[in-house]
């Protein structure tokens, strides 16, 4: 069996190198982390003015309605026949003097702060002999 033979000839290498002025520009936008503690502060009672106004308005409305309800109930209680009015007034005064209080212990904040991350960017621009290579990473 005869194998094929490949013959090559080498000549002198033709190589030209031209080096021109190269400009290199690197622009970096660093990453950033933003932490918003607004919900944590609101849990602790430090709110913005608008949310405080809404809360105080709702609380004032509830307090006014509870006062109207209490006075109407006391007036209805005084109209019950067969009871001495002095006993009724004394019972009402005792209820007002020793109101029921609610005590709570709590751990705050209830919600963690919101964390957002803005990615960084790198831009590399190389100008070499009139050609522009622009790369964004």
Over residues 52-105, the pLDDT tens digits come to 899 899 999 999 999 999 999 999 988 888 888 888 899 889 988 888 888 888
Q: Which helix (H) or strand (E) holds 99?
A: none
Q: What is the pTM of this model?
A: 0.44
Strand ranges in the chain using DSSP code E only, listed in sequence order: 22-29, 32-36, 114-118, 121-128, 131-136
- d(Cα 126, Cα 135) in Å, to the nearest integer? 9
pLDDT tens across 27-53, in order? 899 999 999 988 888 888 788 888 889
Nearest partner of 44 among 96, 113, 94, judged by Cα: 113
Domain ranges of the chain: 17-37+113-137, 46-100
DSSP 3-state helix, strand, coil percentages of the chain (rounded to 5)? 35, 25, 40
What pLDDT, on a 0 to 100 scale, did the predictor assign at position 30? Answer: 92
For residue range 125-135, list pLDDT tens digits in order.
887 766 666 66
């Amino acid at each position: 069996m005869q194998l094929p033979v490949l013959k090559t000839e080498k000549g002198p290498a033709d190589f030209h190198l031209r080096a021109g002025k190269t400009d290199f520009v690197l622009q970096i936008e660093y990453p950033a982390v933003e932490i918003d503690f607004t919900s944590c502060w609101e849990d602790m009672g430090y709110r913005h003015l608008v949310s405080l106004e809404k809360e105080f308005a709702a609380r004032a409305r509830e307090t006014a309605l509870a006062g109207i309800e209490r006075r109407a109930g006391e007036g209805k209680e005084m109209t019950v026949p067969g009871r001495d009015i002095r006993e009724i007034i004394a019972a009402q005064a005792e209820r007002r003097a020793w109101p029921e209080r609610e005590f709570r212990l709590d751990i705050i904040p209830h919600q963690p702060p919101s964390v957002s991350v803005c990615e960084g960017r790198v831009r590399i621009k190389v100008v070499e002999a009139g050609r522009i290579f622009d790369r964004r990473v």
